[in-house]
Structure 1
């Protein structure tokens, strides 16, 4: 568990998710997907039952190359990050992360703190050697954050998102983890 002081003066707690919190997470994800067009799913599209979410959180807790962390202010879930590592021997050292923060908390440094936690965790595992991400090409705030944290541009995938009748490209970025 880590504590940090945010730009708004509040204390942020970052810790691993617990399977008993699956309902709290699903409530959170339903709220966050209604607030942003930057996700790979929209309102009502997440499509995971509470039972499946319990299984998912439990599987990440057991995995040496998977992570799910929550950002909390008091008891309120305000952000989350999931890193999924590869399941086969040749790709176990790499994976992709996804991150969300409630809109009312954008700009306070929560995303930065979640990503720093993940990077430190990856280094500590000594297993994770590459962190990947994808982001909508027009999400300049996220792109700036990833660049600031030393993620490197690796390519563009055209038409990866289709939202409200429009196509959007995605930028793929990565960070190599070395000793």
Structure 2
């Protein structure tokens, strides 16, 4: 557990999730899904049960190449990051993350803090050698952040998202961990 100060001065706690967080995580995800067009799911599309979410979070805790991060302010979840590495020996070093932040906290450095925590954790594992992500090509703020953190552009997947009557490409970006 670590405490951080955001650009607006509020103190945020970053910590690894546990099964007891499942219901609040689902409520958070349902809210954030309606606030952003940059996620792979929209409002009403996250239909995971509390039992399924509990199992996912608890399984993540048992694996050396998986992390489930929660950002809280005054006991309220305001951001999440999940990273999962491969489940075979040839792929355990390689994984992908997803990150989300409540709209009210955009632009305050919370996404950066979550990703920096992930990078630090990955280095400490001794297992993770590559962190990957997919980002909508028109999400320039996120692309710029990832580049600032050392991620490099590795390719484009066309027509990855279909939203509001049009297709959206995604960039595939990666960071090698030494």
Matched, 1:21 2:8: no
Listed as ranges, the matches of 1:77-92 within 5 Å are 77-92=77-92
Q: Distance in 2 between matches of 1:108 and 1:76?
A: 16
Matched, 1:137 2:137: yes
Match of 1:152 in 2: 152
Match of 1:66 in 2: 66
Match of 2:104 in 1: 104
- Deviation beyond 6 Å, 4+ runs, structure 1: none
Q: Secondary structure at the match of 1:142?
A: helix
Q: Secondary structure at the match of 2:34?
A: helix
TM-score, normalised on structure 2?
A: 0.99
Match of 2:31 in 1: 31
Q: Distance in 2 between matches of 1:66 and 1:161?
A: 25
Match of 2:167 in 1: 167
Match of 1:46 in 2: 46
Q: Secondary structure at the match of 1:145?
A: helix
Q: Give the gaps of 5 or more residues in structure 2.
A: none
Cα deviation 1:84-132 (Å, max 9, x = unaligned): 1100111000000000000000011000000000000000000000000
Q: Secondary structure at the match of 1:88?
A: coil
Q: Distance in 2 between matches of 1:5 and 1:28?
A: 21
Q: How many residues are paired up?
A: 178
Q: Distance in 1 between matches of 2:73 and 2:47?
A: 27
C-alpha RMSD of the superposition:
0.6
Matched, 1:8 2:13: no
TM-score, normalised on structure 1?
A: 0.98
Q: Secondary structure at the match of 2:161?
A: strand
